[in-house]
């Protein structure tokens, strides 16, 4: 700010008016730039009805109470499925010959999906390696 002895002839009011004009000019230029950028983005954005409309599933998810699953969600579909059937596959008692596999896999149910995927891939690699060793022993190690 200018000291009082260096102030222009109009005083402080004239300085304030000049500063206000400068600020208004800068704001006008800024808003023109923003409007032109928004218009350019509007031309690039899809203008179809589907892009703007909220789907029924989204509406159901937004309006669903916190305690119950939304209408289109997987949890709601599982809850609405007949007992013993989920996703078109019947769930019943596990056959006796598959029970040991379920017991072996039980500790992995608590692990995250990424870890279970890694363990499964490591198991497949180990199986292939063991098969290769067996083939090697049977073919090349004849005593």
**pLDDT tens readout for residues 57-80:** 777 777 777 666 555 556 556 666
Mean pLDDT of the chain: 77
Task: Please check whether residue 67 lies inside any domain of the structure.
Answer: no
Domain carrying residue 110: 96-143
Q: Residue 102 domain-assigned?
A: yes
Dig out the tokens for 82 from the structure.
Answer: 């007949």
DSSP tag of 88 = T
Backbone torsion region of residue 95, taken as left when φ is above 0, otherwise alpha when ψ lies between -120 and 50, otherwise beta: beta
Beta carbons of 17 and 24 less than 8 angstroms apart: no
pLDDT in tens, 93-141: 889 999 998 999 888 888 899 999 999 999 999 999 999 999 999 998 7
20 falls within a domain: yes
Residues in the chain: 143
In a domain, 63, yes or no: no
DSSP state of 81: S
113 assigned to some structural domain: yes
CA distances, 96 to each of 83, 93, 111, 119 (Å): 21, 9, 25, 25
Domains in the chain: how many in total?
2
Whether residue 79 lies inside any domain: the answer is no
Q: Do 61 and 75 form a contact (C-beta atoms < 8 A)?
A: no
Provide the phi-psi class of 32: left if phi over 0, else alpha when psi is between -120 and 50, else beta.
Answer: alpha
Residue 101 domain-assigned (yes or no)? yes
The reply to whether 53 falls in a domain is: no
> Would you say the C-alpha torsion 79, 82, 84, 88 has a positive or negative sign?
negative
């Amino acid at each position: 700010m200018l000291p009082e002895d260096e102030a222009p002839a109009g005083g402080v009011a004239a300085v304030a008016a000049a500063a206000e004009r400068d600020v208004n000019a800068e704001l006008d230029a800024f808003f023109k730039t923003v409007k032109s950028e928004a218009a350019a983005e509007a031309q690039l954005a899809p203008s179809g009805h589907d892009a703007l409309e909220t789907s029924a599933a989204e509406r159901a998810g937004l309006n669903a109470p916190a305690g119950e699953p939304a209408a289109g969600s997987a949890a709601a579909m599982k809850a609405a499925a007949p007992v013993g059937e989920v996703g078109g596959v019947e769930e019943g008692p596990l056959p006796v010959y598959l029970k040991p596999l379920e017991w072996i896999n039980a500790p992995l149910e608590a692990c995250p999906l990424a870890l279970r995927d890694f363990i499964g891939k490591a198991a497949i690699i180990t199986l292939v390696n063991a098969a290769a060793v067996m083939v090697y022993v049977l073919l090349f190690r004849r005593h």
